[in-house]
Copies of this chain bind each other. A is one copy, B any other.
Amino acid sequence: MAELTGPVHVVGAGLLGTSIGMALTGAGIPVWLSDMNHEHVRTASGLGAGAPTPAGGVAQLVVVAVPPDHIADAVVEALDSGAVVTDVGSVKGRPLAEITDRVGESRLANYVGSHPMAGSERSGPLAASAAMFDGRPWAITPHVHAAPEAVALVEELARLCRAEPVRLSPVEHDRSVARTSHLPHLLAVLAASQLAEALPEQLLLTGQGVRDVTRVAAGDPDLYGQIIRANREAVAELLADVRRDLDRVIEAMAESGEEEATEALGLILARGVAGTRAIPGKHGGPSLDTAAVFVAVPDTPGELARLLSDVGEIGVNIEDLHIDHDPARPVGHVELAVGAAAAEDLREALEARNWTTHR
């Protein structure tokens, strides 16, 4: 069992680095901070993320938390110190190949990549939080030459940040995030792009569906561009699949036989339904069979709280919640997702408390 006692040197005092520093400091581990931008180090220190790195100090673990294009450089430099080194970049295969080219396999034992599944659309130390990783998965991606003690130490880092380590090979990791993050991001961008082309009056009929589909497309284009390009092999493989699927949809639209078209389209749509069911449920358990209860809620402070307080008193646990924005009136439709078995009782109990509901 590896014991992480520190010091931990965090390179890059941005959103993730500062959050890691705050979480480790909270766990009693000494943290050193460095950043090309000295202002960031001062800010992060002020937030309790650690102290500036002392000259000549040797850390037990170096955590590289710099932008994607600078990860390899920072890891290579850190390996010189003899410390165990990890990085927290969103893509693992390409940086590993670059690092291997630079230092050779014999010096790779102390490097173990990782990737916490957490973040924010904001960046910089001011957006950091010690709670950022609470309960989130943190991918640990050892290569074949990694020393077992180094792997264990990086897993310990994840646990001290209160995340749940998930071990995957770099290739598996990159294939996984290509499917669960990079490809959905690109498809959201394609859907959103068509809205950018629309006449304003065509957008009067937008509902909650299109808002959900396109939400992630609002993310920083530079950062996502770097991330997706770094994972281009895995993403390109999926894009080729998607292009075939898209061609099938286009064919089903052009098909003149009504029955054949309906059947072809039905098959495509049914595979989508199967995909939504494959997403793991809350807390990693099997996907829970939920049902939606819609409630009309006046759009004034306190009303949503009153609703949820009533739901709490009724004793039903909310699995998910969406607020549907009304385009024209100060009434919100709140969609409560609850266990399917509880939905009807909840609806009746809410009606009894004078809420207007539908399913």
Contact = CB atoms under 8 A, between A and B. Distances in A.
Interface of A: 19, 117, 120-122, 126-132, 134-137, 139, 162, 164, 166, 168, 172-173, 175-177, 179-181, 183-198, 200-207, 209-219, 221-222, 224-226, 228-229, 232, 235-236, 238-243, 245-247, 249-250, 252-254, 258, 261-262, 265-266, 268-284, 291-292, 294, 296, 299-302, 304-306, 308-309, 311-313, 315-323, 325-331, 333, 356-359
A262 B229 contact: yes
Contact of A203 (B128, B278, B291, B329): B278
Given A246-B239, A273-B221, A301-B317, A214 B134 contact: no
A294 B176 contact: no
Given A206-B279, A284-B328, A299-B317, 5 more contacts: A173-B205, A188-B213, A190-B242, A236-B254, A301-B317
Contacts of A321: 304, 321-323
Tallying the copies of this chain within the complex gives 2
B327 A283 contact: yes
A193 B271 contact: yes
Interface SS of chain A: helix
Given A225-B265, A272-B190, A278-B196, A235 B253 contact: yes
Given A246-B242, A253-B229, A189 B284 contact: no
B184 A214 contact: yes
Contacts of A357: 129, 131
Given A127-B359, A229-B253, A261-B229, A283 B329 contact: yes
B176 A204 contact: yes
Nearest to A212: B212
A93 to B, nearest CB: 15
Contact of A283 (B217, B306, B326): B326
Contact of A278 (B164, B189, B195, B291): B195
Nearest to A162: B329
A198 B183 CA distance: 13
CB-CB nearest 4 A-B residue pairs: A129-B358, A135-B329, A192-B275, A189-B272
A272 to B, nearest CB: 3
B296 A195 contact: no
A268 B308 contact: no
Contacts of A126: 359
Most buried by B among A172, A175, A207, A320: A207
A213 B213 contact: yes
A301 B279 CA distance: 24
23 contacts: A134-B326, A134-B333, A137-B328, A164-B328, A176-B202, A179-B198, A179-B202, A179-B203, A183-B194, A188-B209, A192-B272, A194-B242, A196-B272, A196-B275, A196-B278, A204-B280, A217-B275, A225-B265, A229-B252, A236-B250, A239-B249, A282-B326, A309-B309
